Amino acid sequence: MGGTTPEQDEVRMIETGSNPTRFARGWHCLGLADTFRDGRPHEVKAFGQTAVVFARRDGTIHMIDAFCRHMGGNLARGAVKGDEIACPFHDWRWNGEGRCVGVPYARRVPLRARTTAWITMERNGLLFAWNDPQGNPPPPDVTIPEIEGYGTDRWSEWSWKSYLVEGAHCREIVDNVVDMAHFFYVHYQIPRYFKNVFEGHVASQYMRSTGRDDIKTGVQMDLPDAVTRSEASYYGPSFMLDTIWTESDGDVVEAKLVNCHYPITPDSFLLQYGIVVEKKPGMPDEQAQVMAQTFIDGLEVQFLQDVEIWKHKSRIDNPLLTEEDGPVYQLRRWYQQFYVDVEDVTPEMVRRFEFEVDCDHAIATWEAESREAAARAANAPA
């Protein structure tokens, strides 16, 4: 009677796998577009390469390989002259399409004076670059949605932050889409409802949560009895747009959160996040901006909590799961579509998939834990 089976006695080994050397196909957000319109070249390390980003006189922003095909000068150390970027070494002029259009000291430009150029796009005040190892242009249906009313008095300006993450692949952050339980242990929230939907190039997370009574961090702005409702979707491999409604004392604050990244090397990426807050009627711009900054400061706490986990965890290709852990393997199957040739994308990677986590047992356990912690704190000596 009793005892264990051979399967139960077998030690579970972690399969670490290895980070892909290929960089994901899709739109990647480089940051706030206006930061690149200062008349100077900007060096961007992304997709295993070094690029230069610059704006033409009409404000159009371009991204090309940073190293001049003449003698290897770094164009990001050069200067924007008119509509071209000029190499600091010999003043060769390169346009936004990656063609050399002038060599001031020479009669003619070499026929093969062509370099790598990325397709760029502006949306919602943000700059995006399209990466595709096969060199294909973006399909019309694979794009970034517009925020309704962005650029009008409806929204505050972006509050924006970035953080370099080293020693981890960007799959770590995408895994969070399905990770209901980590919100309690890492971000100090109690998920009350949690559902995932994957379809095509979009992976969505629907969540309703409340803050933990025993911990106050500013993540939920420490509003009394605050309830947060979130509808977040990854549009491709690296850009999440999240609509967040925070309800407290009968008032609702709506915000748009961007959680995005772009890969630098197979084991490093630039994490970026920003937020705009909807202005209430009669709300001064300064007040809306203070509210947005309060949100972003709280979100910084959350993101840095994630980073601290990633810095010390193992990569794991065979996670051992309970049903409350959500559809980790299905999410990774969806994510794989961005790392294979378009001809190799399978129906299983893009077909619609839905999964709702039953949060009841977790809520009961967490609330009991929170009450015990609060009781210990109340009885602790002053």
Are residues 125 and 165 part of one domain? Answer: no
- Residue 321 within any structural domain of the chain: yes
**244-250 mean pLDDT:** 85
CA distance 249 to 158: 26
CA distance 187 to 127: 29
pLDDT tens readout for residues 81-130 = 999 999 999 999 999 999 999 999 999 999 999 999 999 999 999 999 99
Which residues share a beta bridge with 208? 193, 229
Please give the helix or strand (H or E) that residue 36 lies within, else none.
none
- Residue 40 within any structural domain of the chain: yes
Total number of domains in the chain = 2
DSSP state of 99: B
Asked if residues 55 and 146 have their Cβ atoms less than 8 Å apart, the reply is no
Lowest mean pLDDT among 208-217, 296-305, 350-359: 208-217
Are residues 214 and 75 part of one domain? Answer: no
DSSP string for 268-331: EEEEEEEEEEBPPTT--HHHHHHHHHHHHHHHHHHHHHHHHHHHHSPP-SS----GGG--HHHH
Are residues 285 and 342 part of one domain? Answer: yes
Are residues 333 and 189 part of one domain? Answer: yes
- Residue 138 within any structural domain of the chain: no
Average model confidence (pLDDT) across the chain:
93
Residue spans of alpha helices (H) in 46-144: none
Are residues 223 and 324 part of one domain? Answer: yes
Are residues 242 and 126 part of one domain? Answer: no
Name the pLDDT band for 343 (thresholds 50, 70, 90).
very high
**134-138 mean pLDDT:** 97
| CATH number for 104 | 2.102.10.10
Are residues 257 and 190 part of one domain? Answer: yes
Looking at the predicted structure, is the pLDDT value of residue 176 above 90?
Answer: yes
Are residues 355 and 218 part of one domain? Answer: yes
- Residue 149 within any structural domain of the chain: no
User: Three-state DSSP class for 93?
Assistant: strand
CA distance 29 to 272: 8
Looking at the predicted structure, is the pLDDT value of residue 221 above 50?
Answer: no
Asked if residues 114 and 94 have their Cβ atoms less than 8 Å apart, the reply is no
pLDDT the model gives residue 217: 56
Range of the domain at 60: 26-131
Question: What pTM was computed for the model?
Answer: 0.93
- Residue 267 within any structural domain of the chain: yes
pLDDT tens readout for residues 252-263 = 889 999 999 999
pLDDT the model gives residue 281: 84
Lowest mean pLDDT among 59-73, 218-232, 342-356: 218-232
- Residue 364 within any structural domain of the chain: yes
pLDDT the model gives residue 4: 66
Token pair for 196: 């995932």
Please give the helix or strand (H or E) that residue 366 lies within, else none.
helix 360-379
Are residues 199 and 116 part of one domain? Answer: no
Are residues 163 and 105 part of one domain? Answer: no
- Residue 251 within any structural domain of the chain: yes
Are residues 369 and 240 part of one domain? Answer: yes
- Residue 124 within any structural domain of the chain: yes
Are residues 126 and 227 part of one domain? Answer: no
| CATH number for 283 | 3.90.380.10
